[in-house]
Amino acid sequence: MAFCRKCGIEIEDSAKFCPACGEPTHDDPFETAKNTAESKFNELNDTEDCTDKYEKSDIEDNKIISLFAYAGILILVPVIGAKGSPFAQFHIAQGINLIIAEVIIAAAIGVLSAIFSFSASLGAIISIISGVTELAILALIIIGVINCLNGRAKELPVIGKWKIIK
Ligand SMILES: [Zn+2]
């Protein structure tokens, strides 16, 4: 016999859930991984939100054009088209950090590939690292776009704090 870890009643060994309180008897590894990933994401995305510093009308008028700040070279759209918008300037600064992060990662991957070109297995590891960093960049782009659509002036995880431009 086993005991429910929540309410303490005795339950069958084969039971997946406690019949009294419904507590699972074992952790579902998928569920555990999902919860860990979720809390890690929330921790990383718990960044400074300075939406209050911006005028509501500025946010409403410029949140769509600000989306382009996260679209690579199309960052020029708000740079040229939303000069007078502090809200757009906030997202442009975030977008520039993103471009710089992409350039640094591409350079680092290039250098590593050149150094380790003699080894196929190291090359494979570098490809994996490259794939993971591409996914991370994609995640940052999605977060930036969601912040814009929600009308938030919220920093991106990890790279949002970089103060490249004033
Ligand atoms: Zn129970």
Distance CA 115, CA 89 (A): 39
Distance in Å, CA 28 to ligand 1 centroid: 17
| pLDDT average, residue stretch 74-102 | 97
Distance CA 121, CA 126 (A): 9
Tell me how many helices (H) and strands (E) the chain has: 5, 2
What is the amino acid identity at position 162?
W
Instruction: Give this prediction's pTM.
Output: 0.79
| pLDDT average, residue stretch 7-33 | 89
Distance in Å, CA 32 to ligand 1 centroid: 19
Distance in Å, CA 36 to ligand 1 centroid: 24
Distance CA 114, CA 37 (A): 33
Q: What is the pLDDT, as a whole number, of residue 165?
A: 61
DSSP of 114-156: HHTTT-HHHHHHHHHHHHHHHHHHHHHHHHHHHHHHTT--BPP
Distance in Å, CA 15 to ligand 1 centroid: 11
Distance in Å, CA 13 to ligand 1 centroid: 13
Distance in Å, CA 14 to ligand 1 centroid: 14
Mean pLDDT of the chain: 94
Distance in Å, CA 3 to ligand 1 centroid: 8
Distance in Å, CA 2 to ligand 1 centroid: 11
Cβ proximity of 92 and 79 under 8 Å: yes
Q: Does 29 score more than 60 pLDDT?
A: yes
Distance in Å, CA 129 to ligand 1 centroid: 44
Q: What is the pLDDT of residues 46-76, one digit of tens each?
A: 999 999 999 999 999 999 999 999 999 999 9
- Which helix H or strand E contains 3, and what residues bound it? strand 2-3
Q: Does 164 score more than 80 pLDDT?
A: no
- Which helix H or strand E contains 14, and what residues bound it? none
